[in-house]
Amino acid sequence: MKIVILDAYTVDQGELSWSALEEFAEVEIYERTSPDEVITRCKGAEIVLTNKVILDATTLNMLPRLQYIGVLATGYNVVDLEVADRQNIVVTNIPAYSTESVAQMVFCHLLNIVGRVDHYARENKQGKWVSSPDFCYLDHHLFELNEKKMGIIGLGNTGMATARIASSFGIQVFAYTSKDEEELPFNIKKADMDTIFQQCDIVSLHCPLTETTRHLVNSERLSSMKPSAILINTGRGPLVDDKAVAEALKNGTIAAYGADVLTTEPATADNPLIDAPNCYLTPHIAWATQEARQRLIKICTENVRAYLDGEPVNQVN
């Protein structure tokens, strides 16, 4: 039996190990795989592991020996599930491995915005504090999070973890969720979408990307927010209309945007958010703490073990 890992570098830059998979089969590891290399590399493999390499209908039809696809992420849109079903290929994903890491990134962005940490660190390197006539150098308003209102859109694993951290800062938490009010912890109040965007000082996006949530944040919704409001997106890039957010930042419709995701990734040079004022972007790294990546490999290994034992877990098809 052979296991092929198509894009291991996304998960492991050399400091982690896939050796636990060698218990099951011969393992071939590729750092990256281009579209024209997929079929050649997967031929003869019963198990293929992929993070972002696409396994579409054409590819799957060329791999008759393939029995199992392990997606090395929570999202699994890189696999044509309909064709996988027809060919009796089991497809699994890795759920909830990065919950704490993503929630942590929400507050990395938020604390940077309200405390201007990056700004002042750069100003210090340019000698602004050294040349200040005062004991401190202050050129921006700073804000406390205590008693601010935070609206969380989507109260799954990361939304709930974000709410827990928010409460520890003394933030009042409101959530747009399908959960009943009685199911929510005491520190979270259920609210409708309009109320959250109109009344909250911070809005954090944690809902899945669907046809109904695509461009959930558009010009109309942005115009309903406070001019002092902060928008955070560690969910999916297309939850927001990039152009509309860039315009809102330029016009002062909202105060700041912190995001770990963009509509097109890697970022394109012409994305209007790249140069937008008070826009803080990280390159889709919220999931990528060492602990989360170790957890991902461990869950991946257990997924493969369960499949080989005839009792698949985390199956998505």
Q: List, by residue number, the catalytic residues.
A: 236, 265, 284
Rounded Cα gap, residues 157 and 97, in angstroms: 10
Measured CA to CA, the distance from residue 256 to residue 248 in angstroms comes to 9
Residue 304 sits at the vertex; the CA angle it makes with 302 and 306, to the nearest 5 degrees, is 70
8 Å CB contact between 109 and 233: no
Please compute, for residue 309, the number of CA atoms within 13 A of its CA located in the half-sphere on the CB side: 9
CA angle 275, 215, 119 (to 5 degrees): 30
Quote the crossing angle between the two packed helices 99-115 and 157-168, to the nearest 10°: 40
Please report, for residues 31, 79, 235, the alpha-carbon distance to residue 25 in angstroms, rounded to integers and kept in the order given. 19, 23, 35
- 83 within 8 A of 103, measured Cβ to Cβ: no
Give the whole-angstrom CA distance, residue 204 versus residue 276: 19
Asked whether 207 and 227 are in contact (CB, 8 A), the reply is no
SS3 22: helix
Kindly state the tokens that stand for 241: 């209309």
